[in-house]
Structure 1
Amino acid sequence: MAPEPANGMLFTIGLVATWYSCNIGVLLLNKYLLSNYGFSYPMFLTMCHMTACSLLSYASVAWLKVVPLQAVRSRVQFLKIATLSLVFCFSVVGGNISLKFLPVSFNQAVGATTPFFTAVFAYLMTRKREGWITYLTLVPVVTGVIIASGGEPSFHLFGFIMCISATAARALKTVLQGILLSSEGEKLNSINLLLYMAPMAVIFLLPATIFMEGDVLAITVALAREDKKILWYLLFNSSMAYFVNLTNFLVTKHTSALTLQVLGNAKGAVAVVISILIFRNPVSLTGMLGYALTVFGVVLYSESKKRSK
C-alpha cells in the first residue's frame, strides 16, 4: 500500500531534519576537533572520513540494497572516476584545513560562492553560456564574500585561501562529473559514485598523510590513552561524513534537486547561527551583512537557473 500523504510528508520532514543534522553536525565536530580540541590533522581526519565512506557505501549497496550496484564498465571510466576522486579529495582536505583557521560562520559564507565557480568552470571547460541575468546574480554572491572578508574579526589569509580552493574544487568536481560521466552508460548515482571514489581517495590520502602528518597515528594512540573520547569523536565524525552523502541522495530522491538547493541555502544560514552560539566566535555586523548578501545572490542565481530551463 502507498503511504498516506501525511505519512509521506512526515517521512520527508524527518529525512530533511536528518540531512541537516548530519551536515551541520559533521561541520561543527570537524571544527571542534581541528581547532578547539587541538587535533590538528586535517588529512588524517579526511582519510578517516573516506575510510568510513568506503565501508558504509559498500554495506549500503551490497548488503542493504539501498541502490542497485552499478559496475565500472571500462578502464577509461575507472580513470574518469579516479580524476573525480582526486578533485573531491582536495575539496574535503581544503575545507578541513580551513576550519583550523576560520570560524564556521565565515567558512559557510565563502562556501556559498560555489555557484560562481561552477559558472566559471562550466564556461571555461564546456563553453556553456548562461543568460546575462544569471551572470548578474553572481555579482552579489562575490560582493557579499568580499564584504564579509573585510568585516571578519577572525580573518586568516591561509585559511581563506584554503576555503576558496576547497569551494572551487567542489564546483570543479560538479562540472567534471557532468563532462566525464555524461553518457548514459557511464552515469552513476551519487551512492555508487561514492562507493568507487572513497577507496581511491584513501589511496591518494595515505602517502600524503604519512609524508605530512607522519606521527598522527602515534599521537592518536597517545591521546586515546589519556582520553578515550577521541576515538568516539573520530568514529562518530567519520560515520556522519557518510550519512551526509546518503541523506543528500535520499532527500534529492524524495524531493527534487531544486528543493535540495533551496534547503542547502537555508542549511548554511542555520549552520552559521548554531556555530556562533556554540563556539562564541566574534562576528561583526558587516560580516553578517556580507554573508546575507551572498545568500541572497545564491537564491537569485537558483531562481534564474530555474527560469532559464
Structure 2
Amino acid sequence: MRVPPLSGQLFGVSLISLWYASNIGVLLLNKYLLSNYGFKYPIFLTLCHMMACSILSYIAMSWMKVVPLQTVRSKVQFMKITSLGLIFCLSVVGGNISLKYLPVSFNQAIGSTTPFFTAIFAYLMTLKKETWLTYMALVPVITGVMIASGGEPSFHLFGFIMCISATAARALKSVLQGVLLSSDAEKLNSMNLLMYMAPVAVGFLLPASIIMEENVLGITIQLAREDSSIVWLLLFNSVLAYLVNLTNFLVTKHTSELTLQVLGNAKGAVAVVISIMIFKNPVSITGMLGYSLTVIGVILYSEAKKRSKRDI
C-alpha cells in the first residue's frame, strides 16, 4: 500500500475538517437564528440558502471549474430536476422549521432515521428488497428514536412532525434521484444537480415566504437597520449552506463510501455534544440512550448494506 504524500494527507484532513465545520456550523447557526436570535422566518432563511447555492454553484463550475459543467438535455430531464428541486426544498424548509421548536440533539436523532425511510421508499417505488439482516438493523434505528422521543425534555409535537417530514423528504429525494436520473444521458453529479435545483427551489420559496411570512423582507431590513450583524449572520449562514453541499461532494470524491459513512455517523454525535454545550438544552439519560441506540442501528445498517453489496 502506497502512503499518500504529506500534502495529500493534509488536503484530506483539511477537507474533512471543513466538511465537519460547515455541516455542524450551519446547523448550529440555523438554531441560533431561529430560536435564540428570534429570526422566526425559516422559509426566508431557506430562500437565502438556495439563492447562495444557485449563485455559488454557477461560479464554482462556470468560472472556477471545480467540476465540469453538465447541461440539461431535454424538457423531460428539466421536469425531473424540477420535481427533485421541490422535494429538496421541502426537506430543507421542514428541517429549518423543526429547529424553531426542537433542540439540535433531538433533531439529529430524528435525522438519523433517514435509512429507514430510504428503505421504505426504495421498496415502494422500485420494489427493491434488502436482505433480512439490513431490515433487522433498522429496528434499533426506529426503537432508539422512540425512546429518545419519550425521554426528550423539550419534545414539541409540531417540531417533531416537521423533522420527520424533512427526513422522509430527504430520503424520497435520494430514491427519486436514482429513479428519475438513472440513464447515462441524464445522470448529473450532485453539484450540477444542486445548481439546477436551487433556482427551482427559489421559485417555490419566494411566493411561499411572501404569503406565509408576512412582510418578512421589510422586517429583515428593519432588523438590519437596528443591528447590522443580522446581515452578516444571514450571509455567512448562506455561504455555509453551500459549503455543506460542496464539501460533501468533495469528501465523497476523495474518500471511500465506508469512510464517508463512518465520518457521517461521528459528525452527528459531535453536533449533538457541541449543541448541548452551546445551547445548554436539557437532556435526559433516556434521551441519550435512545440516540445512542439509533446511531448503533445506523452503523449496523451501513455494515449490512456493505455486506449485501459484497455478496452480489
TM-score normalised by L of structure 2: 0.97
Mapping 1:53-132, distance limit 5 Å: 53-132=53-132
Misfit runs of 4+, over 3 Å: none
Q: Matched residues in 2 for 1:48 and 1:93: separation?
A: 11
User: Which residue of structure 2 aligns with residue 254 of structure 1?
Assistant: 254
Please tell me the residue identity of whatever aligns with 1:193.
L
Q: Matched residues in 2 for 1:83 and 1:130: separation?
A: 26
> Runs of 5+ in structure 1 lacking a partner?
none
Of all paired residues, the percent bearing the same amino acid is 76
Please tell me the residue identity of whatever aligns with 1:213.
E
Give the secondary-structure state (helix, strand or coil) at the position aligned to 1:153: coil
Please tell me the residue identity of whatever aligns with 2:260.
L
Q: Matched residues in 2 for 1:279 and 1:29: separation?
A: 11
Q: Matched residues in 2 for 1:61 and 1:149: separation?
A: 42
Per-residue CA shift, 1:39-85, capped at 9, x if unaligned? 00000000000000000000000000001110000000000000000
Mapping 1:165-184, distance limit 5 Å: 165-184=165-184
Per-residue CA shift, 1:5-39, capped at 9, x if unaligned? 22211211110000000000000000000000000
Q: Matched residues in 1 for 2:261 and 2:4: separation?
A: 26
**What's the Cα RMSD here?**
1.1
Give the secondary-structure state (helix, strand or coil) at the position aligned to 2:38: coil
TM-score normalised by L of structure 1: 0.98
Q: Matched residues in 2 for 1:54 and 1:274: separation?
A: 30
Deviation (angstroms), 1:109: 0.2
Q: Matched residues in 2 for 1:253 and 1:128: separation?
A: 26
User: Which residue of structure 2 aligns with residue 157 of structure 1?
Assistant: 157
Mapping 1:151-230, distance limit 5 Å: 151-230=151-230
Per-residue CA shift, 1:264-293, capped at 9, x if unaligned? 111000000000000000000000000000
User: Which residue of structure 2 aligns with residue 271 of structure 1?
Assistant: 271
Per-residue CA shift, 1:133-188, capped at 9, x if unaligned? 00000000000000000000000000000000000000000000000000001000
Per-residue CA shift, 1:83-116, capped at 9, x if unaligned? 0000000000000000000000000000000000
Give the secondary-structure state (helix, strand or coil) at the position aligned to 1:234: helix
Mapping 1:286-305, distance limit 5 Å: 286-305=286-305
Q: Matched residues in 1 for 2:257 and 2:100: separation?
A: 31
Please tell me the residue identity of whatever aligns with 1:175.
V
Q: Matched residues in 2 for 1:257 and 1:197: separation?
A: 24
Please tell me the residue identity of whatever aligns with 2:253.
K
Please tell me the residue identity of whatever aligns with 2:157.
L
Query: In structure 2, do the counterparts of structure 1 residues 124 and 231 end up closer, same or farther at CA, with 3 Å as the change threshold?
Result: same
Give the secondary-structure state (helix, strand or coil) at the position aligned to 1:296: helix
Deviation (angstroms), 1:4: 5.0
Deviation (angstroms), 1:262: 1.6
Give the secondary-structure state (helix, strand or coil) at the position aligned to 1:49: helix
Q: Matched residues in 2 for 1:256 and 1:72: separation?
A: 29
Give the secondary-structure state (helix, strand or coil) at the position aligned to 1:82: helix
Q: Matched residues in 2 for 1:157 and 1:280: separation?
A: 21
Give the secondary-structure state (helix, strand or coil) at the position aligned to 2:199: helix
Once the two structures are overlaid, the 10-residue window that deviates more, 156-165 or 210-219, is 210-219
User: Which residue of structure 1 aligns with residue 281 of structure 2?
Assistant: 281
